[in-house]
Amino acid sequence: MIQELKNNYGHLFENELLEEINTVATFKEVSEGNELIKPGSYIKSMPLIISGAIKILREDQDGDELLLYFLERGDTCAMTLSCCIGHHKSEIKAIAETDSKLIMIPVGKMEEWTAKYKSWRNFVFESYHKRLMEAIETIDSIAFLKMDERLLRYLKDKTKVNNENVVNNTHQEIAYDLHTSRVVISRLLKKLEVEGKIKLNRNSIKILSL
């Protein structure tokens, strides 16, 4: 594990901290579609993402969903951070977007490291900053954009996160992420196809130019 750690977090953390992480953390692999965090659950360890991508969703009381953002290599989950520290329940849902490798750090160590390592503090603060900014970008996109623009942005994010120019999702799945209906998504995707920006297939969307 230490090698994975050094490759992905070596530029952030000093050796001493890397060693400590190596001692107490556990390695975890998850497959696409696995639910990592349920809303309302308590969280006992914090993930550092080594590879893959994690989708973070908000769910309302009716079970309606909305995609908040993706976590990628080098990221951690700010919600988990604050849940751990403040002993709050999780307010979000996390699902593996692709097969992913994670390093899980037990809650107890975090407080200790925050006092001890400047690099850890910076990492934690930077993570919070990034998540807050992502949340605000999500707000921007819901508040200021129309559904067709949101869909475009969604497709762009997907290709970036999955690192390929094909989005392997059904229209229904996209509709859940954007909190709208399947018919609306089909309609808008068809429009994008007519404009020559994408090519529609069953269960997948090929991105031509966005």
Partner DNA sequence: AAGGCTATGTAACTAATGTTACTGTGATCA
Partner DNA sequence: TGATCACAGTAACATTAGTTACATAGCCTT
The SS3 call for residue 165 is coil
| Nearer CB in complex with DNA: 38/206 | 206
H helix or E strand, kind and range, residue 106:
strand 100-106
Size of the site for DNA (CB under 7 A): 20
Reference 207, options 185, 192, 186, 188; nearest CA is 192
The SS3 call for residue 23 is helix
Instruction: List the x/- string, 158-187, binding to DNA by CB under 7 A.
Output: ------------xxx------xxxxxx-xx
- Kindly state whether residue 148 participates in binding DNA, applying the rule CB under 7 A: yes
- Kindly state whether residue 16 participates in binding its own copies, applying the rule CB under 8 A: no
CB of 31 to DNA, least distance (A): 18
Q: Which long-range contacts (CB under 8 A, 24 or more apart) does 7-15 make?
A: 8/48, 8/50, 8/51, 8/73, 8/74, 9/48, 9/74, 12/74, 12/119, 12/122, 12/123, 13/117, 13/119, 13/120, 13/123, 14/117, 14/119
Q: What CA–CA distances, in Å, run from 208 to 12, 108, 153, 173?
A: 36, 48, 14, 21
CB of 86 to its own copies, least distance (A): 5
CB of 17 to DNA, least distance (A): 44
- Kindly state whether residue 121 participates in binding its own copies, applying the rule CB under 8 A: yes
Burial degree of 47 (CB within 10 A; 0-12, 13-18, 19+)? buried
| Number of Cβ atoms within 10 Å of the Cβ of 181 | 13
- Kindly state whether residue 89 participates in binding its own copies, applying the rule CB under 8 A: no
| Nearer CB in complex with DNA: 43/192 | 192
CB of 195 to DNA, least distance (A): 13
- Kindly state whether residue 63 participates in binding DNA, applying the rule CB under 7 A: no
- Kindly state whether residue 64 participates in binding its own copies, applying the rule CB under 8 A: yes
Of 120-128, 153-161, 186-194, 196-204, the window that binds its own copies (rule: CB under 8 A) is 120-128
The partner in contact with residue 104, picked from its own copies, DNA, none with C-beta cut-offs of 5 to 8 angstroms by kind, is: none
CB of 202 to DNA, least distance (A): 5
Amino acid (one-letter) located at 140: D
Interface positions with DNA (CB under 7 A):
146-148, 170-172, 179-184, 186-187, 189-190, 193, 200, 202-203
